[in-house]
Structure 1
Amino acid sequence: MKTAILTVGDEVLAGDTPNTNATWLAEQITAHGSTVARILTLPDDRQLIVETVDDWNDRFDAVVITGGLGGTHDDVTVDALADVFDRELVVDPAVREDVLETAAAYRDANPDLVAEHDLDLDLNAWASLPEGARAIINPEGLCPGCVLGTVYAFPGAPAEMQALFETVAHEFDGDVTSRTLYTPQPEGSMVDVLAGVREKFDVQVGSYPDTGGLNRLKVSGEDGNAVKRAVEWLEIRVTVDRVV
């Protein structure tokens, strides 16, 4: 299963907000045995999002979007998804009820702040999703996520995105397994060995510099036995500190 991750937000591109969502999602998707084939960040530009999702929807098994959901002026991701799938935006009664309850709980917990700023939310704007989308109720915040075909959309707030992804994480279960070897050897000293393991076994091997004086060799593949044999082969030919 090849997945593409799209993060949306002017603040991410400006460097105002670190893109921790993409890193977290990539780790989770990989841990579930799927492959992350693409990561991209776009501004809050409805047409750019439409063009990208439309292209990726044909090229990847799943597309995960985070950011740009909600009822503020720069939240255009849901509108873009409606455009991609040629759907109208509709309000699901259950989603609206959840948004209403979340907003009421916030008002009860912050009466002075609400009174000072006259917070009056457009509940329909926050609860609108493309017609036919599978809604994912947000246990951590106001805005729901949704699934439309093989496109998954989550809010950009990390705690909310993580909570919503965990409800559908099993849908990213795949056959890819990985083992990581930690070694003090310089990368340049392992060129021939890494070429040999790729030639001998049906696996992918990545070599990455790490902190603490140890480099990482990550062995991945859809055949768990091939990964196991490749790791054992490397352990004989590389100085290994530990394998995880």
Structure 2
Amino acid sequence: MPSSIFGDPEEWPPQDPIGLSEDLTLPLVVEGYRSGVFPMPVPRELPHGIRFAWFCPPQRGILPLTNLRITRSLRKTAKRYRVSVDRRFTEVMTRCADPSRDGSWITDEIVAVYAGLHERGLAHSVEVWDDHDRLVGGLYGVGLGGLFAGESMFHDPEHGRDASKVALIRLVELLTEAGGERLLDVQWSTPHLASLGVVEVDRADYLARLDRVLPVSPPMWDSTRLWRYS
């Protein structure tokens, strides 16, 4: 991978973060994802106004599209919902940012920047609705070429059982239907994500995959369609 504003990956430290910044701008975020790195706010402002850290995990979580595990019970639950894309991007982000959730890092500034990406067709959402037209689950992420970098997902614990998983099913379908090589990045693997089929690859492998998929045409995000599983 060629050097970027983030430097040569060969010279990055073996552990995160690989860089720090004072600000978060749209061009910087796009360059970050194209370089294989993503931002998160630091817990408190560091000296020299540093407010964001940039990560490229030594072991990166990805979901191979053929790996997604859909249980019989999940298939049954999915029939309760309808699914759309790019209809409520900002609302999905703010639901993911719910401060009552453990480890919430999605600040108002993060929402504003990623909403700007969405307006430019570089970030997308998947929404899950129940039969009362309630938004009960969803996910969002950054899409560049054949890359989709998943950022966060949510479900309504009262009305949206497994709704975030249903959003993931639709995302995988959308990427698969687009054809060509795709890279579904989930940043870090967790036991929950591993149970859905997420695997880990080392940094060099991830960056090589990223190089291959960036030139691929992105999928079609048709906000006029509504899917229901039968």
Which of the pair has more CA radius of gyration?
A: 1
TM-score category (smaller protein):
under 0.3
Q: Quick one: higher RCO (CA 8 Å, sep 6+), 1 or 2?
A: 2
**Between structures 1 and 2, the one with greater helix share:** 1
TM-score (norm 1): 0.26
